[in-house]
Amino acid sequence: MLNLLQVLQIYSSAKTVASLISDIPELPVRISPCATAPDLVGRSSNYRYFPEATWKTMARDYAGKCLDFRKNCGLSVVLILTIIGGVTGQHVKVEAELESYPGQMVNLRCQFMGSEGIRLTQVSWIWEPKEGQRENIAVFHPQFGESYPASALKGRVRFLHGSLDNPSISITDVRMTDEGKYVCEYATYPSGNEQGTTSLVMLAKPMNSASPVTVTEGKSSVVVARCESVNGRPEAQITWDTEATGEETSTSRVSLENTVTVQSEYRLVPTAEDDGKDITCVVSHRTQGAPQSLPMKLSIEYLPKVKIVGYDSDWYMGRKDASLVCVATGNPQPTNITWKAVSGPMPDSVQVRENTLTVLHVDEAVNTTFVCEAQNRLGVSQDNVTAVITEKPMVDVAIGTIIGAVIGVLLLLVIIVVAVFMIRKQRRDAENGDGPPKYKPPPPVKVGGSTEMLNKSQDPLTESQPLGHIYYETTGEPVTDLDVNDEENGYTVGATSGWDDSAQGPDGETQSEALPPYSASPEHKVSRDKAQDPGALLSPSNREGSFVSPAMYV
C-alpha cells in the first residue's frame, strides 16, 4: 500500500497532467470497448490489498486497451492516478490514541470525510486486543439499526448518535483488559471498505517501593538491593544510581487485570568498604510527572575492624595518666570490647573503662603488650600495642633536635648571604677591571710647578710698547714639563738640548729660549744668570709657557 507522502505526490502530478489536457473540450464517459472510469475505480475497491506493483500493471493494461498512448498519454496518466488514489485515499477520521484509567468512560470518535460520490452502506467497530485477534463489538446499518455482537465489552459499549455520518461509540466502566486497537470500518459503494484505527491505552499508576538487602562480606556476587513497581500500566522503567560497582537485572510479569509488575535487583560482590554507601532506585512511568527516586543505603555485615590509638612511644618512669583507646567498627556494631595484658593480669596502676585503658602511674609493671578485643555477631577481632618504658622522657631529645635544626637553618642562611655577597663583589670587580673607567679623575695639583700657571689669573696686558713692538705671551694650554725629571736627575735646565735654540738679542746676548723670528724687543732678553735659577726657570715670563708636570702614577 502507498503511504500518505506518495499519495500527495501522485495527487500533485495528477493536477499537473490535468492542466496540460485542460484544452480538451470533452472527455467521453464511456470509451468502448473499455469499462468506464467509475467502473475502474469501483473494481479497485475489490483489490485494495493488492501490492502497489500489481496496481500499476493493471492500470497500464486498462490504459493500453482504452487509449492510444501516442495521442492521449495525458488522459492515460489521469486514469492511472485515479485508480491508485481510490486505493489509498483516507476518508475515515478518528483519534490516533486515547488514554483512560480503570472505571472511567471513554468516547471513541469516528466520522467519514468527503463522502461526495460515495455511498455509505454500513459502519462497524472492531476491537483488536492483540495482534491478529479481531472482535466485532458494534454495528450500525441505516435500515436495520444498531447491533452489539457478543464480546467482552457487550453491555458497556453503545453508539452515541446512531448515524452513518457520526458513528462514535462510548465504553463505560473501562477495564484494564479493554486496552487495544479499535477500528472504525465503513462499507461504501463503490470504493469498498475504508477504516480508521484508535489505540486505547489503559493507565494504572504503580505502587513503587525499594529496600536494601542485608548481606555478609564475601567473594561472590549477591543481591544487595531490590526495587519494585507493582500493578502499573504501561510497564514502568527502573534504573539505579550508586557509587558502588555492580550490575542490575529487571523482570516483569502481567497480572490477570492486565497490569504489569516490574522488579529490579542490584547485585555486587559485598565488601566492608561498600557498607553504608548510598544507592537510589529511580522509577519512571507514564502516569508520573517526573521519575520517582527511592534512596537507601547498602547494608553489608562484616567482622569488627579494631585499632588501638594513643600510644606516643614516650612512656617514661613516673609519667602520669598515659592512655590507650580501642577504636572498633563493624556491622553489626561491636557490643563487647575487652582489654588484656600479654604478661598476665592487669597491673595495679592500670584502669580500664569501656574502650579506654589508662595508666595512672607508669612503672616497670606496665612494660608489657596490651591487647584489645572487639566482638559482634559475626566473630571477634583484636589489635595490640607494646609499651616500652624509658628512664627519662624523650622531651630533651626533642628539644635538642629542634635547637640543632634552628642552628642548621641559621648557618644555611649565613652561607647564602656570604655567597651572594661574594658573587656580587666578583661581578663588580670584573666590570671595573675589564671596561674603561666610569669617570675621569681630576688632574693632580702640582705645588710650585708650572701647572699653577694654568689656573693663575693673568693680569691684562697694557700697551707699554709701541705697536711696532712684538710681545710674546704663553697660552693656557697644558704642556708637559719634561725638565722636572731632569732636575731630579741632576740635569741643568740651561744645558744644551742638541737643538740650535739660541738667538742673539739686540745687544748680542744669548737667550735661554729662542724667540720667534720676528721678535726683536730688547726688553725680553733673559740673562744667563737667571737661566741658572730654578725659580726663574719656572716663571712663565722666562719659560714663556713651557712647563713640565711631575709624573703621575695610577
Of residues 454 and 191, more confidently modeled: 191
CB 29 within 8 A of CB 36: yes
Residue 471 binned pLDDT confidence (cut-offs 50, 70, 90): very low
536: pLDDT strictly greater than 60: no
Which triple of cell numbers denotes residue 22? Answer: 485542460
Residue 229 to residue 543: CA distance in whole angstroms: 131
Contact 82, 40 (CB under 8 A): yes
pLDDT band at 447 (very low <50, low <70, confident <90, very high): low
Which residues have a Cβ under 8 Å from the Cβ of 447 and sit 6 or more positions away?
none
Render pLDDT for 153-210 as a digit per residue (tens, 0 to 9): 999 999 998 889 899 999 999 999 999 999 999 999 888 899 999 999 999 999 999 9
Sign of CA dihedral 545, 548, 549, 554: positive
Cell numbers found for residue 222 = 549477591
Which CATH architecture does the domain made up of 92-202 adopt?
Sandwich (2.60)
One-letter amino acid at 360 equals: L
Whether the per-residue pLDDT at 66 is higher than 80: the answer is no
User: Quick one: fold of 303-390?
Assistant: Immunoglobulin-like (2.60.40)
DSSP secondary structure of 6-46: HHHHHHHHHHHHHHHTTT-S---S--TTSPPHHHHHHHHGG
CB-based contact 75:27 (threshold 8 Å)? yes
Report residue 116's pLDDT band, with 50, 70 and 90 as the boundaries: confident
Contact 182, 138 (CB under 8 A): no
pLDDT in tens, 407-417: 999 999 999 99
Residues 292, 420: Cα–Cα separation, whole Å: 71
What percent of the chain lies above the pLDDT cut of 90?
49
Contact 157, 171 (CB under 8 A): yes
Task: Determine which of 72-81, 119-128, 316-325 has the lowest per-residue pLDDT on average.
Answer: 72-81
- What residues contact residue 321 under an 8 Å CB cut-off, 6+ apart? 358, 359, 360
Whether omega for the bond prior to residue 334 falls within 30 degrees of 0, making it cis, is: no
Number of alpha carbons in the 13 Å side-chain half-sphere of residue 82 = 18
The answer, yes or no, to whether residue 393 has pLDDT greater than 70, is: yes
Q: Are 108 and 98 in contact (CB under 8 A)?
A: yes
Q: Are 274 and 268 in contact (CB under 8 A)?
A: yes
According to the model, what pLDDT value does residue 236 have? Answer: 96
Residue 6 has pLDDT above 50, yes or no: no
What's the pLDDT score for residue 426? 86
Q: Residue 475 pLDDT more than 80? A: no
Q: Which has more pLDDT, 12 or 190?
A: 190
In this structure, what DSSP letter does residue 308 have? E
Is 92-202's fold the same as 207-298's? yes
Specify the pLDDT at position 552: 57
- Count other Cβ atoms within 10 Å, centred on residue 25: 4
pLDDT at 442: 67
* Statement: the pTM of the whole predicted model exceeds 0.75: no
For residues 96 and 199, give the distance between their C-alpha atoms in angstroms, rounded to a whole number: 6
How many Å from the N-terminal Cα to the C-terminal Cα in the chain? 119
CATH code for the part of the protein at 207-298:
2.60.40.10
The answer to whether the beta carbons of residues 141 and 147 sit under 8 Å apart is yes
Q: What does the domain layout of the chain look like in residue ranges?
A: 4-88, 92-202, 207-298, 303-390, 448-554
531 closest CA partner among 496, 485, 481:
496
For residue 527, pLDDT beyond 80: no
pLDDT of residue 118: 87
CB 316 within 8 A of CB 393: yes
